[in-house]
Amino acid sequence: MTTPLLAVRDLRRYFPIKRGVFGRVTGHVRAVDGVSFHVGAAETLALVGESGCGKSTTGRAILRLIEPTSGSVTFDGEDVLALDGARMRKLRRRMQIVFQDPFSSLNPRMSIGSIVREGLIIHHIAEGAAADARVRQLLEEVGLRSEYASRYPHEFSGGQRQRVGIARALSVEPSFIVCDEPVSALDVSVQAQVVNLLQDLQRDRGLSYLFIAHDLSVVEHIADRVAVMYLGHIVEMAPVQRVFSVPLMPYTQALLSAVPAPEPGLKHSRILLAGDVPSPANPPSGCVFHPRCQHPARDAACAGIVPPLEEKAPGHFAACIKQTPTTVSWEQQKSAGGTKPPELFVPPSLAAATY
Amino acid sequence: MPPVVPPLPDVAGIRSRLRRDRRATFALGVLLTIATCALLAPILSPFDPNAQLDISRLQSQAPSWSHPLGTDPFSRDVLSRLLYGARISLLISFTAVALAMSFGTLIGAVAGYLGGAIDAVLMRLVDAAFSIPTLLLLIVVIALWGEVSTSALTLLIASVGWFTVSRLVRAETLAMRDADFVVAARALGVPAWRVLGQHVLPNVVGPAIIAAALAVGNVILLEAGLSYLGIGVRPPTASWGSIIQDGSERVSDLWWLTLFPGLAILVTVFACNALGDALRDALDPRQLQAAPDDDTPIKAT
Amino acid sequence: MTAPLLEIESLRTYFYTDAGVARAVDGVSLRVDAGETVGVVGESGCGKSVTALSILRLILPPGRIEAGSAIRFEDKNLLEMTEREVQRVRGNRISMVFQEPMTALNPVFTVGDQIAEVARIHAGMSKRDAAAKAVEMLKLVGIPAPEQRANEYPHQLSGGMRQRVVIAMALVMNPALVIADEPTTALDVTIQAQILELLADLTRRLGTSVLLITHDLGVVAEHCTRVIVMYAGEVVEETITTGLFSAAHHPYTEGLLGAMPRIGRHAERLATIPGTVPPPTAWPVGCRFRDRCQYAWDRCEREHPPLYQIDVAHVSRCHLAEEPERRAHPHPPLAAERGASAA
């Protein structure tokens, strides 16, 4: 295998919980707790999960917009976390970010032309009239009229602002973009426009995306591979068709079955998860999902053993000791209190509903 | 290096909202009139403000045709002193406020943006400063110093005025620091000082400007108070406070020495406060919001 | 046929803003029968939320419900009632579930007190009975340890729990109609599934009608018997749910369905609706969708389309109903020619 564009290994980010007048640290919120993955050139890896699972923190930690607590990030052979300020700023030309909220992501006091221009000037890509021309070109490329350059963000709709945010990211000619829920705040019809734009840009420029999302239908449409996060961990990672046809991690199964199916009459028996996501300050022992898990073989071993993210099928990784095959032997499970041997479990209703 | 973009607040919008606000138009008109009178004092004043015109016959004269606002116990023309006094009072208050605002904004923005130890130290300093009664501090310092020049007085007033602003700006900066557009600027590789200057500051100065407008009124009162206590501007220089001081021993029979400068102070403070309130309304981001259930901005074409 | 539970007739709610009169809701008529769940779908700015607020007369200035509108509920016109009479309907016969449970609850009262308050106001219950009722309601909406939870404050509960509390509050008086305005938009997908299931189950058991306002066609497909599509302050299509997905008539509905990515349907590109919704201060004359429509012709510019009857229980505000042959000749919409950006 060739070296991937981006490789993340064992990334962690803990936020201290401070109490009292003197800010005594009484614990840590494990927002990201040992996450490893890679993104290839011109590939889209989707990072999905519900709020608080650590997907956004992961995206920002890779770009060092939040400093990771530990782990390593390698971008095109460079150790990102070891770079000093000046070299990091230089690397930022190649790694960009697009945000979720089209209203807070643009400086209300700058014209959209100035917003798109800033990166060009900072990185000495173009100056003066050449920069103006480039700004106009970028605006046209994302589907905005170049005459709009002198207008201010509040004069635009959500979808148009999102295009400005994309133009800003493109201005420095990156090869990798973290898309942090770029279409979640948009209406369906506008969402489709922006999704198509992102796909066109990927095709034309050979971009790689880390596409952070909670909407699985958008993910299925845009991603090559999918990583599912739960409580700071990646619990399943596989090519997109695999995740949607044979989800192995019980959490992924529940997540998929929760998506409302827009086909009346095709109402599938839904896996309704009990309770809420536990606090990342005090995650469950063993498998973080075990208190809510619907796998028929769930037992005490799930609370005792931290499941490794193991390859269940070629290219299909899942963190579940109850889904066969597993490297955690039945003997090991029994010694941890296990009473039910592992078995492969894919709810039939799920496959029927989605395919 | 030239700035990437000129800082362009939505001046047009704010101006149009201010113009629609009659309170603001009126307050601004009053302030401009007073400032013009102060500027044109040498032309408008019928007499030299410090000249003792006739110490035997023109002492403490009530208002008359030749001296519309009367004379003081040193036979000086009160109208002339009031006009020249406006120069001193306005100069001191506007300069002191400008200094305090700039310094306070800088400290607040730096503390809020950098956070950590720098923020902790600066803010504890501000907390400490807050616990000292300003007026008392000024009285003590001036008393120990002896006589102070006008510029020294301005500096002193400014040096006790920046705490509030720095608190305010720090709070705003903290809120702004994690805004997506600030993160986006960092992600672009914009250096920290420029992120602060270009993206954070223009979005936090609004509250500081409002505070400044309100503070001008306070400083005018403070200067008047100090001068009234006899430790403000040095005699014979006229300021609104010192004119009142000159008549302070016989307030009941020399009423014109209290009434006219008092009115001047009242009107100016009132205008400053009204302008501050109007600015607060005009800068309110909610004014930019469109109709409910609608993400299409009204101004969109 | 019995009279409908709720019948809205040519509702017009306008907002008098500096930028002009925003005609947020502009002649909406709809009905909800007893025990029925009706979906109202549309994108931001279509007027669906303002319609919901208008029913309970919760429109604040500069908004105003215009004369000529009628909202009949249980044979009385809500718009002709005094404020006192309307208050007796709110939270009692008609209740609301809002999108954001955090803002729908008062942060300084316990959730138990807030549920109890509804019972005390509308049923005149004693303090003790009302407190017991609150616990009973919390149990009904599936909150574990309800006695203990009743004494907690909203911030101590998760988003999903808070929405359950809001539903409990809405159902205390066993209302005839619940208006749910995007009840799960702020929630995660697994929690959304829980909440919708709960709402559907409870209203079925209690025989409550639901007006479900949402932007999510999937939610409509699963929970509604009838669906009303709104665009630019008007109803543009209304049909039974199955009909909408198999035989959408209005080009806007068609566009919405095409723009929605669906699991299991592999499309190379998503269909889009070019352009954006026009501002409510300046709805176009003629058909309000025409600039974004791939079938629009000169008639659409001249003539504001009425709601044409397409089928039994299926209406559509599109001239294609009279000239169906034009559907065979789509062309790039005006908004697309002006560039995707032209709003």
Rounded Cα–Cα distance for residues A184 and A180 (Å): 9
Nearest CA among C113, C101, C119, C107 for reference residue C153: C107
pLDDT in tens, B55-93: 777 777 878 888 888 888 888 888 989 999 898 888 988
The whole-chain average pLDDT of chain A stands at 89
B117 touches chain A (CB under 8 A): no
Longest Cα–Cα distance of chain C, Å, equals 69
Q: Which of C50, C277, C342 sits opposite B296 (nearest CB)?
A: C277
Percent above pLDDT 70 for chain A: 94
Strand partners, C22: C15
- Band of the pLDDT at A266, cuts 50, 70, 90? low
Specify the DSSP class assigned to residue A146. G
Burial class (CB in 10 A: 0-12, 13-18, 19+), A339: exposed
- Band of the pLDDT at B242, cuts 50, 70, 90? confident
- Band of the pLDDT at A350, cuts 50, 70, 90? low
Ranges A332-341, B220-229, C169-178: which has the least confidence: B220-229
Decide if B61 contacts B71 (C-beta within 8 A).
yes
- Band of the pLDDT at A354, cuts 50, 70, 90? very low
Measured between beta carbons, which residues in chain C are less than 8 angstroms from residue A153? none
Q: Which two tokens stand for residue A311?
A: 């390859």
Judged against a pLDDT cut of 50, whether residue B296 lies above it is answered with no
Q: Which two tokens stand for residue A154?
A: 């509040």
Decide if C77 contacts C116 (C-beta within 8 A).
no
Q: What is the mean pLDDT of residues A179-204?
A: 90
Complex-level ipTM: 0.86
How would you label B140-156 residue by residue, b for 16+ Cβ within 10 Å and e otherwise?
eebeeeeebebeebbeb
Rounded Cα–Cα distance for residues B186 and B168 (Å): 24
Decide if C280 contacts C263 (C-beta within 8 A).
no
Decide if C331 contacts C262 (C-beta within 8 A).
no
Judged against a pLDDT cut of 80, whether residue A270 lies above it is answered with no
The Cβ of residue B133 has, within 10 Å, a number of other Cβ atoms equal to 11
What dihedral do alpha carbons C181, C184, C186, C191 form, nearest 10°? Answer: 160
Ranges A150-159, A189-198, C97-106, C248-257: which has the least confidence: C97-106
Rounded Cα–Cα distance for residues B92 and B74 (Å): 25
Contact between A155 and B299 using a beta-carbon 8 Å cutoff: yes
Q: Which of A65, A99, A157 sits opposite B297 (nearest CB)?
A: A157
pLDDT in tens, A207-239: 999 999 988 889 999 999 999 999 999 999 999
Cα–Cα distance list, A151 to A131, A169, C309 (Å): 17, 19, 44
Inter-axis angle of helices B255-283 and B201-228, nearest 10: 170
What dihedral do alpha carbons B270, B276, B277, B280 form, nearest 10°? Answer: 180
| Position with higher pLDDT, C128 vs B300 | C128
Q: Which of B292, B298, B301 sits opposite C281 (nearest CB)?
A: B298
Measured between beta carbons, which residues in chain C are less than 8 angstroms from residue A215? 189
Q: Could you give the 3-state DSSP secondary structure of residue C139?
A: helix
C15 touches chain B (CB under 8 A): yes
Rounded Cα–Cα distance for residues B67 and B80 (Å): 9
C282 touches chain B (CB under 8 A): no
Identify the closest residue of chain B to C181 by CA–CA distance. B293
Nearest CA among C239, C249, C231 for reference residue C44: C231
Nearest CA among B6, B7, B5, B31 for reference residue B279: B31
Decide if B52 contacts B83 (C-beta within 8 A).
no
pLDDT score, position B236: 79
pLDDT in tens, A91-121: 999 999 999 988 889 998 889 999 999 999 9
- Low-confidence stretches of chain C (pLDDT < 50) are 340-343
Q: Which two tokens stand for residue C331?
A: 């062309």
The dihedral built from the CA positions of residue C77, C81, C83 and C89, taken in this order, carries a sign that is negative
pTM greater than the 0.80 cutoff: yes
pLDDT score, position B4: 35
Judged against a pLDDT cut of 70, whether residue A1 lies above it is answered with no
Q: Could you give the 3-state DSSP secondary structure of residue C33?
A: coil
Measured between beta carbons, which residues in chain B are less than 8 angstroms from residue A156? 297, 300
Nearest-5° angle of CA A236, CA A239, CA A242? 75
Full DSSP string of B63-121: P-SSSTT-B-TT--BHHHHHHHHHHHHHHHHHHHHHHHHHHHHHHHHHHHHH-HHHHHH
B57 touches chain A (CB under 8 A): no
Ranges A127-136, A323-332, B227-236, C54-63: which has the least confidence: B227-236
Rounded Cα–Cα distance for residues C329 and C331 (Å): 7
Q: What is the mean pLDDT of residues A1-17?
A: 88
Identify the closest residue of chain C to A262 by CA–CA distance. C218
| Residue written as token pair 């009722």 | C133
Q: Which two tokens stand for residue C137?
A: 């309601």
Rounded Cα–Cα distance for residues B285 and A154 (Å): 11
Judged against a pLDDT cut of 80, whether residue B288 lies above it is answered with no
Nearest-5° angle of CA C271, CA C273, CA C277? 160
Cα–Cα distance list, A28 to A9, A14, A18, A56, B105 (Å): 21, 6, 9, 18, 34
Rounded Cα–Cα distance for residues B3 and B149 (Å): 38
Rounded Cα–Cα distance for residues C291 and C326 (Å): 16
Which subunits have 3 or more CB–CB pairs within 8 Å of chain C?
A, B
Rounded Cα–Cα distance for residues C20 and C43 (Å): 22
Min Cα distance A184 → chain B (Å) is 14
Measured between beta carbons, which residues in chain A are less than 8 angstroms from residue B301? 155
Nearest CA among C109, C103, C105 for reference residue C152: C109
Ranges A141-145, B207-211, C31-35, C173-177: which has the least confidence: B207-211
Ranges A269-278, B35-44, B207-216, C218-227: which has the least confidence: A269-278
Decide if B242 contacts B85 (C-beta within 8 A).
yes
CB pairs B-C closer than 8 Å: 50
- Band of the pLDDT at B32, cuts 50, 70, 90? very high
Q: What is the mean pLDDT of residues B243-266?
A: 84
Measured between beta carbons, which residues in chain B are less than 8 angstroms from residue A100? 180
Strand partners, C196: none
B252 touches chain C (CB under 8 A): no
Judged against a pLDDT cut of 50, whether residue B205 lies above it is answered with yes
Nearest CA among C87, C136, C142, C135 for reference residue C110: C135
Contact between B296 and C45 using a beta-carbon 8 Å cutoff: yes
pLDDT in tens, B122-152: 888 888 888 888 888 888 888 888 777 888 8
pLDDT score, position A248: 93
Rounded Cα–Cα distance for residues C250 and A212 (Å): 33
Rounded Cα–Cα distance for residues B233 and B224 (Å): 9
Measured between beta carbons, which residues in chain A are less than 8 angstroms from residue B187? 63, 65, 92, 95-97
**Domains along chain B with CATH numbers:** 11-47+76-288 (1.10.3720.10)
Which subunits have 3 or more CB–CB pairs within 8 Å of chain B?
A, C
Q: Across the beta sheet with A70-75, what order do the strands follow? A: A24-39, A6-19, A70-75, A78-79
Please provide the size of chain C in residues: 343
Q: What is the mean pLDDT of residues B230-244?
A: 82
Range list of H helices, C207-316: 217-223, 241-247, 251-259, 298-302
Please provide the size of chain B in residues: 301
pLDDT score, position B256: 87
Phi, psi torsion values for A138, nearest 5 degrees: -65, -40
* E strands, A49-169, in order: 70-75, 78-79, 95-98
Judged against a pLDDT cut of 50, whether residue A355 lies above it is answered with no
Measured between beta carbons, which residues in chain B are less than 8 angstroms from residue A165? 184
**H/E element holding B220?**
helix B201-228
pLDDT score, position B185: 93
Judged against a pLDDT cut of 60, whether residue B22 lies above it is answered with yes
